Structure 1
């Protein structure tokens, strides 16, 4: 089975047919999804979804676009909400210098609070990074010196240096439908070089639908298209790609029961 490690099932795009979307994902062998929080103040919507569907887990956090709105959200707030048994990650948080929807100092403050929560809980931090490679590298390396924390560079579209430095810090890297785009050869080249035990796949649905659905509303079932391109890039079969990315997900998202992923035994060290 495949895992969609990052989607937004709470977004209005999915409200009318959420059950159908989850059923289509299962039919496409996408057996588990993580619906990612973008506003802590809307956490109740995440909680409602993860409690309604056995194969959907969630995160808690504030997207950098919304950082200015939630500067009062503390690491302790995130830690408390992460006690829910199906909250398996912190974030998404990070830096987005493309849109700058929140001031950069607010984005940085939010990111540091999320790092502290990830360090305390041991849950992976889901990192959003866009056109902010130098600052992201500096923050991740500086914070790691204070104490390691698990993390994932999600929907990777940054430069090779951020990927290299992130992997050196122990981070994982997830690829979305961007990997399938005609003009994304540089991203495919990075995916070819990431260590095999650090790769994940995702949709970031409802955004960034992969080829052949580009331009449409994305949904978790389309994880299979990104996985197929990753298989081509790595020279793996589709089965091996599913096995490797699911094992990697299990290693990073340790709170998800391995039985929920069709895996046996204890999590890998």
Structure 2
């Protein structure tokens, strides 16, 4: 069975330094269990020039470019200092992101705008987060790319902006919410990212939502090295765990793993235009 990890932070230090063989060895381990593609989401400006190079060095790696809400405060602070004359050179992140997307527009490894979104647990005001989210939704529309969305306690607000700025598709990463919310995302063309959350019995609401959705709405992910599966708490997550997510999903939906994997591959291919 061939599987695609639709959300893996494979450029993080947990997978080794940028130079050397360690990262390549991690990728070989993933391929050995059937993971033949993964998408690396962009989270901050420092990645925007490096992700294309990483993905060009390894077959099967693809990338997204975006500014994650967790890194937004840093970028906004730099921009404010620049505008007030308190710094000689700092990041104007909207311009830098636009330039990065323009450089990537002919690269087949660039598949999405993301990781973008909202997080109610951040100290940064939601209004500021929403302004950045809207900026990036507009860029996704301009470049006709799907989005990879981070939504933590903000599903209804994210849905509000998706209705106002309809993108061509995307995925709600690490979904944790109700069946109604999941169905509404799917109605707007957003797939639901299924990862380690469904391996926890306490995540009953999310498990019920995933079990009830059309299979066409789902894609697999690990969020490695984060979001460890049940039984692996305290250990770095890894794309080699993706078959365990598939097994958990097959058990939850009471279906055959082989047929399920084929449908999930069709879903992710449709989503990212492969």
For the aligned pair, the TM-score class normalised by the smaller chain equals 0.7 to 0.9
Q: Secondary structure at the match of 1:24?
A: helix
C-alpha deviations, 1:17-69, integer Å up to 9, x for none? 31121111101111111111101232223122101101111111111111233
In 2, are the aligned partners of 1:78 and 1:114 still within 8 Å (CA)?
A: no
Divergent runs of 4+, >4 A: none
Closer/same/farther in 2, CA of residues 167 and 39 from structure 1, 3 Å limit: same
User: Which residue is equivalent to 1:111?
Assistant: 133
In 2, are the aligned partners of 1:4 and 1:201 still within 8 Å (CA)?
A: yes
C-alpha deviations, 1:225-259, integer Å up to 9, x for none? 111111111222111121111110000100x3xxx
In 1, are the aligned partners of 2:179 and 2:212 still within 8 Å (CA)?
A: no
TM-score, structure 2 length as denominator?
Answer: 0.86
For 1:95 and 1:210, locate their aligned partners in 2 and report how far apart those are by CA, in whole Å.
Answer: 24
For 2:250 and 2:258, locate their aligned partners in 1 and report how far apart those are by CA, in whole Å.
Answer: 9
For 2:59 and 2:194, locate their aligned partners in 1 and report how far apart those are by CA, in whole Å.
Answer: 24
User: Which residue is equivalent to 2:85?
Assistant: none
User: Which residue is equivalent to 2:161?
Assistant: 139
**Is 2:128 aligned against 1:128?**
no
User: Which residue is equivalent to 1:259?
Assistant: none
Please identify the structure whose Cα radius of gyration is greater. Answer: 2
For 1:222 and 1:49, locate their aligned partners in 2 and report how far apart those are by CA, in whole Å.
Answer: 22
In 2, are the aligned partners of 1:122 and 1:150 still within 8 Å (CA)?
A: no
**Is 2:64 aligned against 1:62?**
no
Query: Aligned to 2:268, which of 244, 249, 266?
Result: 249
Query: Aligned to 2:93, which of 73, 78, 89?
Result: 73
- Shift of the alpha carbon at 1:115? 0.9
Query: Structure 2: where are the runs of 5+ without partners?
Result: 77-91
Q: Secondary structure at the match of 1:95?
A: strand
| Stretch moving more, 77-86 or 213-222 | 77-86
**Is 2:73 aligned against 1:50?**
no
Closer/same/farther in 2, CA of residues 81 and 108 from structure 1, 3 Å limit: farther
Query: Structure 1: where are the runs of 5+ without partners?
Result: 257-269
RMSD (CA atoms): 1.7
TM-score, structure 1 length as denominator?
Answer: 0.88
In 1, are the aligned partners of 2:6 and 2:221 still within 8 Å (CA)?
A: yes
Q: Output aligned runs, 1:22-33, within 5 Å.
A: 22-33=27-38
- Shift of the alpha carbon at 1:78? 5.1
* Matched pairs, number: 251
- Shift of the alpha carbon at 1:204? 0.3
C-alpha deviations, 1:160-215, integer Å up to 9, x for none? 33212111111111111111113112111010111111110100000012134232
In 1, are the aligned partners of 2:173 and 2:193 still within 8 Å (CA)?
A: yes
In 2, are the aligned partners of 1:176 and 1:201 still within 8 Å (CA)?
A: yes
